Amino acid sequence: MKRFTTWGLKGLMLVLLFFAATACDTVEDIFENEKEVAGVVEVIDGNALTVDGIVYLVDDKTEYEGITGIGDLAVGDEVEIEYKDRGDGTRAAVEVELAGADDDD
């Protein structure tokens, strides 16, 4: 039994280290290849947001927290963006959250 417990603890430590190294909050994030960034909106252009010099594309699949859509944002707003790399050098926003918005909305 002690051998199992020792290996169980080592396995748990490895999983925790993996989550810390990949900056993922959930197992779902790992498999969906989603990443998260926080910053200040610098440009709003049609279906794109520029945050800290990086462009994030929004579409009808993008979810919003604390706002109803990209039209509710203004330059200077602080946001958190969950995104996926699209493989062509662009980033697709999966969720855009106004900083300080309550997760229970």
pLDDT at 105 over 50: no
Residue found by looking up tokens 């990949």 in the block = 22
pLDDT for 5-37, tens place per residue? 666 777 777 766 666 665 555 555 555 678 899
- pTM of the entire predicted model: 0.66
Cα–Cα distance between 39 and 96 in angstroms, integer?
A: 11
CATH number at 65 reads 2.40.50.320
Type of residue numbered 71: G
Same-domain check for residues 70 and 81: yes
Same-domain check for residues 19 and 42: no
Residue pair 36/51 in contact by the 8 Å Cβ criterion: no
What is the span of the domain harbouring residue 72? 33-105
Q: Work out how many domains the chain is built from and give that number.
A: 2
Same-domain check for residues 47 and 73: yes
Same-domain check for residues 69 and 82: yes
Mean pLDDT value across residues 41-45: 96
Same-domain check for residues 58 and 26: no
Same-domain check for residues 25 and 47: no
Mean pLDDT value across residues 84-101: 90
- Any idea what DSSP says for residue 52? T
pLDDT > 70: what percent of the chain? 70
